[in-house]
Amino acid sequence: MVEQPLTARRRVVTLVAMCVAQGMILLDNTIVNVALPSIQRELDVDPGNLLWVVNAYVLALASLILVGGTLGDRYGRKRVFLIGLAIFTAMSAACALSTDESALIAARAAQGVGAALVAPLSLSILADAYPPERRTAAIGIWAAAAGLGFGAGPVVGGILVEFFSWSAVFWVNVPVGIIGLVLVITGVRESRNPAARGLDLPGAVLVSAGLCVLTFAIVESEHFGWTSPIMIALLVVAAALLGSFLLVESRVPEPMVPLAMFRDTRFTVACGVYAVMYLALASTFFFVTLFFQNVEGWSALQVGLSWLIMNTPFLIASTLAGRLATWIGTATCWLGALLGGLGVLALAFLTPGAGLLAASPGYVLIGVGYGMAVPTISSVAVSALPPQHSGLASGVLNTARQVGTAVGLAALATLGLAVSRTSWTAESASLPTSAQASNPAIIEDVGGGQGSVVALQLGPAAEPLADSAFVDGLQAALLTGGGLMMIAAVFAFVVLRRPGEPEPIDSDDLVADVAPTERPRAA
């Protein structure tokens, strides 16, 4: 039995609810960045643990986003969506109430679990609510709301931190989340997919554990040393967990990530380029935020407003990406990656005393490049596989983005911190109190760009040396990220520049995942 179409009012309520939830999820991806220096100071968080404030959320989201979609299809999208939104809202309050870094990191991880249940289901719920002839317009509004949330994050975060405190960037989610819950309860109907794939719990556990151990090993490499027994053991455990994940995925009847998808070179390269782009972007956000707030003394609001120079070109370019693709085809993939990489490289040469004018070219290049590349790469990845697998292709692509963000941020931030510490060792030799300069707490302050804090302990002469050491680390990390973007642009040029036909996939290798536009409605 097919359900009757929803009334116009319920369709509008459903659309508003999905826009509110998706906008809030993406707002949280960027709003926290401008609060990191305040969190660093008020909770006394060292740079390594500051990474986990970002990565705990991203890793949970990356590991479970495909599980969230499967749970919704099997047990009811509205039900799972409500559970996810409730978790996200409650954990936002827990983040705001955290009094130490451990509590904040744990709450951020739980917040990511909630986001993983919400993010993959909003589009499926919209597809169920709107008939095909109206679906495109509804999805366009939904995408605009998501882009607005992502772009507004730095500005909103800057305002909240400036006039309240870092906790306000989490408190803001609570009333928005409650409004979303009310809208979903009152306006969204239940739907599910009777033909949905089974839940691959072993795969989800293995990939989550493997990514967490690998990221922890990278972040803590400076403390343990790459050749220490602890580090070797962590890397072996990570390799074993991720290897077991691949083995499980190749043998279970309904894998979370069917490995057969990656036989298509275009799909594989699209996922790889996407991961590298967000690896570089996450590292840029992390270091540039610390640079302008800690080294240059900008307020959180000034940093947030400065990112409008990046976000505005992004929104314009992403809006025009479809039209541009009709003129130059998928060249927007490699050209966008190239421009974005050049933007990251430009920011690598920021120096103490640099103002907004020095950062603006990099901001504009990143905004234009990512705005061109992101929509086209998404389209290429989805179209690389047969239409019945489009939903799964989209989920795997988004997972690649989150994994790139988490593991890449850990790797480049660790590289930057290592270079800063090495540079500080050389710089501090000129100080009269150089013996104090090896104090681990001081080294952590240097790695976090807190030259003014170092000056309070070692004297005014130490501040420019500490700032210089931090900038050396920023340069190493962003040069590496920009360089990887150049390599990604080459792969995109070689593999993605020409449209290709979807490769047929044996149904024995890949369980069909019905696309959102084709999923049957609940009886």
pLDDT at 35: 85
- Between 353 and 453, name the one with better pLDDT: 353
Regarding pTM above 0.75, the answer is: yes
Q: How far is Cα 489 from Cα 494, in angstroms, rounded to an integer?
A: 9
Secondary structure of the chain: what % helix, strand, coil (to 5)?
80, 0, 20
DSSP per-residue codes, 502-513: PPP--TTTS---
Q: What confidence category does residue 517 fall into, taking pLDDT thresholds of 50, 70 and 90?
A: very low
Within 13 Å and on the Cβ side, how many CA atoms surround 378? Answer: 14
Nearest alpha carbon to residue 428 among 459, 465, 474? 465
pLDDT at 363: 92
Mean pLDDT computed over 427-440: 64
Name the token pair of 172: 């803001």
Secondary structure of residue 377 in the 3-state scheme: helix
Angle subtended at Cα 287 by Cα 230 and Cα 297, rounded to the nearest 5 degrees: 130
Q: 66-70, 85-89, 477-481 — which is least confidently predicted?
A: 66-70
Mean pLDDT computed over 141-160: 76
Q: What confidence category does residue 136 fall into, taking pLDDT thresholds of 50, 70 and 90?
A: low
Number of Cβ within a 10 Å radius of residue 295: 24
Q: 137-151, 202-216, 415-429 — which is least confidently predicted?
A: 137-151
Burial class from Cβ neighbours inside 10 Å (0-12, 13-18, 19+) for residue 100 reads: exposed
Name the token pair of 42: 């008020």
Q: How far is Cα 127 from Cα 142, in angstroms, rounded to an integer?
A: 11
pLDDT at 514: 35
Q: What is the pLDDT of residues 357-412, one digit of tens each?
A: 889 999 999 999 988 888 788 778 777 777 656 667 777 887 788 788 878 888 88
DSSP per-residue codes, 198-220: PP-HHHHHHHHHHHHHHHHHHHT
Q: How far is Cα 195 from Cα 128, in angstroms, rounded to an integer?
A: 15
Burial code (b: 16+ CB inside 10 Å, e: under 16) for 251-273 equals ebeebbbbebbeebebbbbbbbb
Across 108-112, 138-142, 201-205, 415-419, the highest mean pLDDT is recorded for 108-112
Q: How far is Cα 519 from Cα 130, in angstroms, rounded to an integer?
A: 12
Mean pLDDT computed over 313-341: 81
DSSP per-residue codes, 302-329: HHHHHTHHHHHHHHHHHHHHHHHHHHHT
pLDDT at residue 511 is higher than 50: no
Q: How far is Cα 188 from Cα 196, in angstroms, rounded to an integer?
A: 20
Nearest alpha carbon to residue 264 among 398, 381, 391, 374? 381
Distance of CA 482 to the CA centre of its chain: 17
Q: 13-27, 30-44, 84-98, 127-141 — which is least confidently predicted?
A: 127-141
pLDDT at 42: 87
Q: How far is Cα 77 from Cα 193, in angstroms, rounded to an integer?
A: 9
Name the token pair of 361: 């070219």
